[in-house]
Structure 1
Amino acid sequence: MVAAEEESVTVIIREYEPEKDCQKVEEVERICEVGPSGKLSLFTDQLGDPVCRIRNSPTSLMLVAEIAVGNSSSKSEREIVGMIRGCIKTVTCGKKLSRNGKTDPPLPIPVPVLTKVAYILGLRVSPSHRRMKLGYKLVCKMEEWFRQNGAEYSYMATENDNVASINLFVDKCSYTKFRTPSILVQPVFAHRVKVSHKFTIIKLSTYEAESLYRRRFSTTEFFPRDIDSVLNNKLNLGTFMAIPSHEKWVGSDNFLSEPPESWAVMSVWNLKDVFKLEVRGASVLRKAFAKTTRVVDRALPFLRLPSVPEVFRPFGLHFMYGLGGEGPMSVKLTKGLCGFAHNLAKEHGCGVVATEVSGREPLREGIPHWKRLSCDEDLWCIKRLGEDYSDGSVGDWTKSKPGLSIFVDPREI
């Protein structure tokens, strides 16, 4: 716990205590604006548990900021006015070349370089207590815990036009603008999306999915070393592969040794049971138009009209992650997987299906989305807390160039 005096107000930063802090933290969450008008914004915690967004991470912590006016030291007179969440994991930060001794001559193969990273999310400060450096104090205290637990980098994500957040992290906390992935959001219509019969979609077993990801994605930036924990999590709805219909699926081992010319893969994460979203600031006319499109879509589903779902009230979503593929048909196969994911989300009563990919992602053209609901440039900022593993392969990760793809961990959404 740390305390600081500022104009007769004592600021206390301590670890979150579920039994006594839950209700007060939820109150702060509700009064904080978390998204621009007309865009998706965090509404409420579906599970009524403020730490549910980090409990699936291997190592996590939540801190709260309290104030006590004057010289009062009574806990009953303290007020929670801010909070921050953080988690730590090991991910891929680059790759090096190693020689494969099984071939003659030995061929170079890419090997992932790993680092321990920390992720900051859910930083909130009550509007009535801003400009008191509470955000700065919360970040500094969280970084202290990161260092104590061996994290080498800390990173966070924010909207590209969130001036206050960028000023805090970049100008005051010495973070560097690092990556600008895109958040792509597709509404879930009243009708089912048609998936081409030219594709076959297979649900992989957890073993098959882990083997595929480790063999094909382990050198992708931000790939989590504990991918098995992600795939075995109850929020993971499955990993799905699309191949041309004339190809036969003969198991993951054969696929890895002799993959078809074209293929695509993705996993689906159920965020509907974690939190809910809503679109704020829409006019009465826009809401009326949206309702009309839904009525027509339900009455005439065979027309497959792009109806606007009920997104002006809290709704759930599914998140697609681990997207990848190869071959001349990979973009079309990805589109087929997205259609499959849409229909799965419809069955679960979701309002949208979303994903986040690198701005340079080759499969991006196969991901249907509505620009109005999406974010072309989500901003990831990073800070170096310690030294890299000393193999000389990567150096300072904060200065590295982005790759074509990025692995977005669904536990951090």
Structure 2
Amino acid sequence: MTRRVVITGIGVRAPGGSGTKEFWSLLSEGRTATREISFFDASPFRSRVAGEVDFDPRAEGLTPQQIRRMDRATQFAVACTREALADSGLDTAGLDPHRVGVTLGSAVASATSLENEYLVMSDSGRDWLVDPAHLSPYMFDYLSPGVMPAEVAWEIGAEGPVAMVSDGCTSGLDAVGHAVTLIREGSADVVLAGATDTPISPIVVACFDAIKATTSRNDDPAHASRPFDGSRNGFVLAEGSAMFVLEEYEAAKARGAHIYAEVGGYATRCNAYHMTGLKKDGREMAEAIRAALGEARLDATAIDYINAHGSGTKQNDRHETAAFKRSLGQHAYNVPVSSIKSMVGHSLGAIGSVEIAASLLAIEHGVIPPTANLHTPDPECDLDYVPLTAREQRVDTVLTVGSGFGGFQTAMVLHRPEVAA
């Protein structure tokens, strides 16, 4: 019999707040946390807005040595892991460490630290012949993405399966999907899973400037992210992280854990078409949605809310709308859809996990977060995108999806355990 997997703990670091409670307050109130980039002088760049996290590693309880050793993204992941474990009430010290695993997703890993170390070594790019004597002794930690989940594993004493997942902007969904597989197949009983990215650095901003994927709406940062709006012109880069405690259902129930939701279904596909382009019919995302629903053994009409990728680029929002219609049929017109990127921006590989957190909290509180800044809908985006204001509504089942450069398309179904009982 296939083991059921549930989520019992949440930890979030996102723009506009310092934890899960603040994150949900922002979303449910429909506030935005995007602003002018303050981490460096962004004046030379086309896009100068971002979703920055106000994060103090010392206040988070990280030691000076941890702060020196860890990239900012890794610090986020460790802080979120601590919050998720506290939220779950799970004492990992009482578990067999070989039955505890970690899966972590990230799109650009420690790119921020790598860039900073290059600037030090080259004296801000002045010297062609660089001096490695000025490098951090932890340069390898920044170079190797596998160090990031290892840090999380050390934090909790996990000696089971530990993995790094990097599938671009679907990494946060895929890392949790991999964790589900580990528990279902019996390779682990508990997995700390999620994603983290801190890409607000000159090199990453320049990369997206080059392909004009990010918004040029610099005069109004708070309203620059406009998914599904006719005036949208690109996404707002952001940073963030979310981590979860995943457990086998019967074990979680036996210890009296609070269960946010069961992961009913997960599927991922690739369009094998174009690095950044999307086909208008949404076929690949639609196939992932159908497969995830099939694994959850649910009909399309069971979906109460869709947490959309909703990046705010012209092609993504139309592609996604087509995918919902293709996979859900008439029900696509009846189910509310929203994009939290309108409020917290797009944290690349982390956003899939941040959106899972939003989906779990929508189930928990019976509130659907809105799509902020949606004033003039694109006629081709003609579904119920919950504009501007959150909506109170019982939510039993959520479909959350992701779309990433490289053609990655991922879907996950989250529901109350009793839905499949």
TM-score over 0.5 for the pair: no
Higher strand share: 1
Question: Normalized against structure 2, the TM-score is what?
Answer: 0.23
**As a proportion of its length, which structure holds more helix?**
2
Q: TM-score, normalised by structure 1?
A: 0.23
- Whose radius of gyration is greater, 1 or 2? 1
